[in-house]
Amino acid sequence: MPTGQRRALTIFIGSQTFEYVEDGQVFLSGWVSSGSAEHLTHKGECRVLNKEINHRSGKYTNGLDENTPMPYALQFSGLYFVHEGWVPGYADSHGGARLDYEDARLLFHRILVGDPVTVKGSWAARPGNSWPDLFPVF
C-alpha cells in the first residue's frame, strides 16, 4: 500500500523510461516499451482510471488466439494501459506502456485510481530505487 500522500507516474517516450514519484521524491524508475510507430502512445496528462490485476486485452490476441494477458494493468487513457509485458528496449507496444514484472507489480500496489499519469515525448527518468535497495537481502 502506498505511504506517500502525493503519487505520480511519468512515462518518457524518447528514452523509453518511467519514473514514479511519491511526495516529490523519485521512488522508482526503470524501462518501458511504449507504443510503436504504428500504435503511438498518446502524450499528455491523464489519471489512473481503473486497476485490474489480471486484465486481458479486448482487442489483441496472443499466439494461442487468446486475448493477450496484461497483468497489473493500470488504465490511464481510454483503452490504454500501463502493464507487465515484454520490454525489449525500444517502442514496441500497441499504444500502452509495458513494464517488466517487478516494476509493474510494485506500481500496481502503490498507485491509486485517480493518481496522475503523464506521457512526455522527451527527457528521461531520474534515477530511483533499484530492487536491491527496496528489498534488501538478509
10 Å Cβ neighbour count for 19?
21
CATH for the 7-131 domain, from 2.40.440.10, 3.30.1540.10, 3.30.300.30, 3.30.450.20: 2.40.440.10
- pLDDT averaged over every residue in the chain: 82
What is the C-alpha to C-alpha distance for residues 16 and 99, in angstroms, rounded to an integer? 10
4-41: per-residue pLDDT in tens? 789 999 999 989 999 999 999 999 999 999 887 887 78
The residue count for the chain: 138
Cβ 15 vs Cβ 30: under 8 Å: no
Q: When comparing pLDDT for 6 and 64, which is higher?
A: 6
In sequence order, what are the residues at sequence separation of 6 or more whose Cβ sits closer than 8 angstroms to the Cβ of residue 136?
none
